[in-house]
Structure 1
Amino acid sequence: MSRALIRTLVILSVVAIVGILTVQAVWLRRAYALGERQFRQTAFVALQEVADAVARLNKITQTRSAVTQLSPDYFVVRTDAPIDPILLEHYLQDAFRRHRLLTDFEYGIYNCDNEQMVYGAYVSTQVTQPGKATGKRVSKARTHPKFPGYTYYFEIRFPGQGSLVAGQLDGWLASSAAVGLVVLLFGYTLWVVLRQRRLTEIQRDFINNITHELQTPVSTLRIAADVLQQPDIGTQPDRLSQYARIVGEESKRLQKQVQSVLQVARNPRTSLAANRTVVDLNALMTDLADTYAPHIRLDLQAKQALILADAYALETLLNNLIDNARKYCQNTPCITLSTRTEGQKLVWSVADNGIGIAREHHRAIFRQFYRIPTGDVHDVKGFGLGLYYVGQVVRAHGWTINLTSVVGAGSTFTLSLYAHNPLR
């Protein structure tokens, strides 16, 4: 399956997921709005019935609608006559029970003579058995705003209106949760498939690289062995010396390649810092400069560069960085090893004049088997383990590493750690 097809499928899947979630959210919002509207209509009808009952009790005739809604959960009911609190509460509970408005409410009665609320109560309705409800009244001093224009009226508020409407949407909420779960599982499955495909590609590239890298020295060794087995090779000392040198170089190359693979496989992160000793970083860099001369330049500003580290892991880390700097350079390599102190920290770096690393690859280059994609052509062969090993050593020792690079102008790997003081 091509990358373009996979990219298209991923985009279509994301669009489908977003569309499903959007539609579900819209329908859920509409269902909630419909529930609110039904609640308001039901409450309006029930309160109108209460107003009519109070009017009949006082033998007056309502000439206009008695109910005014001020907010989704707040109503004002005009009675045009004094109201008995106990009787009003009975009418309210009876009307709400008939219309199945089993929710808490609070009300207040306004007296036009003294222009203040004379009574207020909070009624909690609890369902004890299917179809039956009990009312628990808690009388409290309630303050309701005065509503101008009415003489006698009561105000009523439903504080649990939102919960009641949401409770009626159990089916919608359950379906939304199910759709959300399916979407999450689908997204996770898609992520696993893409990750597995990436790992498969990495494994395939690694096998191809290691096959090519190991076949080259093996083929060279086989040819050299055939030459050395010729009967007259002893009479050709120059030729004998040349092929003996080839055998030695290819053996070292093969050993280095095998070691680079086993290095990571055999050494978990914790064991990379198991054998810590005091290492003089300045002395180690000086030895490496002699080994890789004349391509190494030293800038050792730190007067004392003693660190507590695994000597073998540290030397291998430096060798990997130097080896990469030499391989990925189109001109004559110029590598700078430097040390300096910043407060209590020792900062050291490996800088080169190579081809550089694009910013989008800075985080990925420390992954196992990762190689910067260059299409189907790889001018420099490798396994993608060098910088992975560097990252493992840095994490095992608790150091920090930063990469600064400009494409075409080289890269600088900077590490910082606390220097070791032997006097402590």
Structure 2
Amino acid sequence: MARLRLLVVLSVLSIIGILTMQAIWVRNAYALRERQFRQSAFIALQDVADEVARLNRFTLNRYAVTQLSADYFIVNTDAPIDPVTLEGFIQKSLQQHNLITDYEYGIYNCETDRMVYGAYVSTGGTAISKTKNLPKFPRYTYYFGIRFPHQSGFIAGQLNGWVWSTVVVLLVVTIFGYTLIVVLRQRRLTEVQRDFINNITHELQTPVSTIRVAADVLQSDAILSQPDRLKQYARVLGEESRRLQHQVNSVLQLARSQRTGFVLNKTDVDLHKLMETAALASAPSVSLDLRAPNAHILADHYHLETILNNLIDNALKYCDTSPDVVLHTRQEGDKLVWSVSDNGIGIAPEYHKAVFRQFFRVPSGHTHNVKGFGLGLYYVGQVIRAHKWHLKLTSAPGQGSVFSVTSPLLTSLNKTGRTESTPTGTVFR
């Protein structure tokens, strides 16, 4: 177990490390591309300034480009420039340096002290709207400003290789994470299976050992002269054989229901009669609180009787004091709400859903004072789901438990028996 935990911790740290390194690489790649874009833009705009200088027959003695922000550049021309000619120079220079992206530009007019001309040029080279309010630069007299509004998208478009590598890394990490989840789930199932095998071994050993001892005694000649003892051992033999048969039938029945689903033979069942019979069999520990005027429901008589007995049996077993189990019924509209409440040890809220899982038993250290397979409540949940009823558990440690079931009442319009096949599951509605 410690080795598995170490494996999980190392796997999680590895996944975090891989994702962190990938994020750092992508960030560094983006930063590098951003620097390359600015350098290319700087060189391209310097070429534009040189073209303007040659057009005006003078030579620039210094760098003409100044970057004011991440996407905005000022280019000194030292002379007035025709807007149409300038746009041609810009388009040509940007294409030569593979800066195929939208831009907007404006030309400063020193007479009016504002950017008087500008346009937003799309990737296709078309001016689609006039630009406004480009920032001025007080150091130059003749200059133009140019902005690249989609610089981030242009740079991201050049990171296709990094994007695909990130997708591959995320895919590998996802598959690895899913594999780890499957391994942990299989580990849990293996532990559940081992616990079940241990439980069923101990449960079956008791009746088998008792039957073997009783059989040995009954085979002795001396027992024939002791009729009372003979009857006692015969009774023990019968009780243990029935107990063994019940345990085997429980396992086989659940195995069969998982393969084919529950086959329900639904008929008109009077729940009050079932409860009265069950209470009489477990008196005086079980009492009745039957308030519903009508307790007829459409249900499978055998499965309904079995889950009622399972709930009563659990209530009697998991109790540290004198058991006090109450069977309740009440009517809410066209629904019958029936429940089994007890004064037992209770179930912590974090286990309320888990107790209906196959083979699950509420942890109680390394030993269980009450033997069992962990199938009783699982079977209850399966039957409730097969009937499409609603099951609710209310419980807390030391405060007992209440298992409440809401079932549709049987009316005069649907008092007909029928057989249905319903797949099993663990959601009880």
Using the size of structure 2 for normalisation, the TM-score is 0.87
Matches of 1:61 and 1:47, distance apart in 2: 15
Cα shift readout 1:281-333 (whole Å, capped 9, x = no counterpart): 23322221112111112222222233222222222111111111111112111
Q: Which residue of 2 aligns with 1:131?
A: none
| Equivalent residue in structure 1 for 2:56, among 55, 58, 68 | 58
Q: Which residue of 2 aligns with 1:128?
A: none
Q: Which residue of 2 aligns with 1:143?
A: 131
Q: Which residue of 1 aligns with 2:368?
A: 378
Q: Which residue of 2 aligns with 1:408?
A: 398
Alignment of 1:214-293 (within 5 A): 214-268=204-258, 271-272=261-262, 274-293=264-283
Letter in 2 for 1:307: I
- Offset at residue 334 of structure 1 (A): 1.0
Matches of 2:87 and 2:258, distance apart in 1: 76
Matches of 2:402 and 2:360, distance apart in 1: 19
Letter in 1 for 2:272: N
Q: Which residue of 1 aligns with 2:24?
A: 26
| Equivalent residue in structure 1 for 2:81, among 83, 94, 98 | 83
* Structure 1 residues 307 and 111: alpha-carbon distance in aligned structure 2, compared to 1, 3 A threshold: farther
Matches of 2:354 and 2:303, distance apart in 1: 21
Alignment of 1:234-383 (within 5 A): 234-268=224-258, 271-272=261-262, 274-383=264-373
Matches of 2:107 and 2:301, distance apart in 1: 87
* Structure 1 residues 82 and 312: alpha-carbon distance in aligned structure 2, compared to 1, 3 A threshold: farther
SS at structure 1 position matched to 2:287: strand
Q: Tell me if 1:96 matches 2:94.
A: yes
Matches of 2:81 and 2:243, distance apart in 1: 103
- Offset at residue 368 of structure 1 (A): 0.9
| Equivalent residue in structure 2 for 1:49, among 40, 47, 50 | 47
Cα shift readout 1:131-181 (whole Å, capped 9, x = no counterpart): xxxxx3223222332433466544433344223312332333333333323
After superposition, the CA RMSD in angstroms is 2.6
SS at structure 2 position matched to 1:339: strand
- Offset at residue 374 of structure 1 (A): 2.6
Q: Which residue of 1 aligns with 2:175?
A: 185
Matches of 1:410 and 1:417, distance apart in 2: 23
Q: Which residue of 1 aligns with 2:121?
A: 122
Is the CA contact (8 Å cut-off) linking 2:324 and 2:343 kept in structure 1? yes
* Structure 1 residues 320 and 335: alpha-carbon distance in aligned structure 2, compared to 1, 3 A threshold: same
Q: Tell me if 1:419 matches 2:409.
A: yes
SS at structure 2 position matched to 1:276: strand
Letter in 2 for 1:317: I
Letter in 2 for 1:103: T
* Structure 1 residues 353 and 155: alpha-carbon distance in aligned structure 2, compared to 1, 3 A threshold: same
Matches of 1:117 and 1:303, distance apart in 2: 91
More deviation, 63-72/323-332: 63-72
Q: Tell me if 1:11 matches 2:14.
A: no
More deviation, 71-80/235-244: 71-80
- Offset at residue 384 of structure 1 (A): 0.9
More deviation, 399-408/111-120: 111-120
- Offset at residue 348 of structure 1 (A): 2.1
Matches of 1:70 and 1:418, distance apart in 2: 76
More deviation, 155-164/316-325: 155-164
Letter in 1 for 2:346: G
Q: Structure 1 vs Structure 2: percent identity of aligned residues?
A: 61
Is the CA contact (8 Å cut-off) linking 1:273 and 1:309 kept in structure 2? no
* Structure 1 residues 283 and 61: alpha-carbon distance in aligned structure 2, compared to 1, 3 A threshold: farther
SS at structure 2 position matched to 1:369: coil
More deviation, 58-67/355-364: 58-67
- Offset at residue 371 of structure 1 (A): 1.5
* Structure 1 residues 418 and 138: alpha-carbon distance in aligned structure 2, compared to 1, 3 A threshold: farther
Is the CA contact (8 Å cut-off) linking 2:272 and 2:290 kept in structure 1? yes
* Structure 1 residues 280 and 80: alpha-carbon distance in aligned structure 2, compared to 1, 3 A threshold: farther
Is the CA contact (8 Å cut-off) linking 2:45 and 2:75 kept in structure 1? yes
Q: Which residue of 2 aligns with 1:396?
A: 386
Q: Tell me if 1:162 matches 2:158.
A: no
Letter in 1 for 2:132: H
Give aligned pairs, total. 411
**Structure 1: any 5+ residue segments left out of the alignment?**
125-135
More deviation, 154-163/114-123: 114-123
Is the CA contact (8 Å cut-off) linking 2:48 and 2:90 kept in structure 1? yes
Q: Which residue of 1 aligns with 2:419?
A: none
- Offset at residue 245 of structure 1 (A): 0.6
Letter in 1 for 2:290: L
Matches of 2:205 and 2:265, distance apart in 1: 35
Using the size of structure 1 for normalisation, the TM-score is 0.87
- Offset at residue 64 of structure 1 (A): 6.6
- Offset at residue 216 of structure 1 (A): 1.6
Q: Which residue of 1 aligns with 2:103?
A: 105
- Offset at residue 400 of structure 1 (A): 2.3
Letter in 2 for 1:183: V
Is the CA contact (8 Å cut-off) linking 1:273 and 1:393 kept in structure 2? no
* Structure 1 residues 22 and 341: alpha-carbon distance in aligned structure 2, compared to 1, 3 A threshold: farther
* Structure 1 residues 318 and 153: alpha-carbon distance in aligned structure 2, compared to 1, 3 A threshold: farther
* Structure 1 residues 388 and 162: alpha-carbon distance in aligned structure 2, compared to 1, 3 A threshold: same
Q: Which residue of 2 aligns with 1:39?
A: 37
Letter in 1 for 2:22: Q
**Structure 2: any 5+ residue segments left out of the alignment?**
415-429
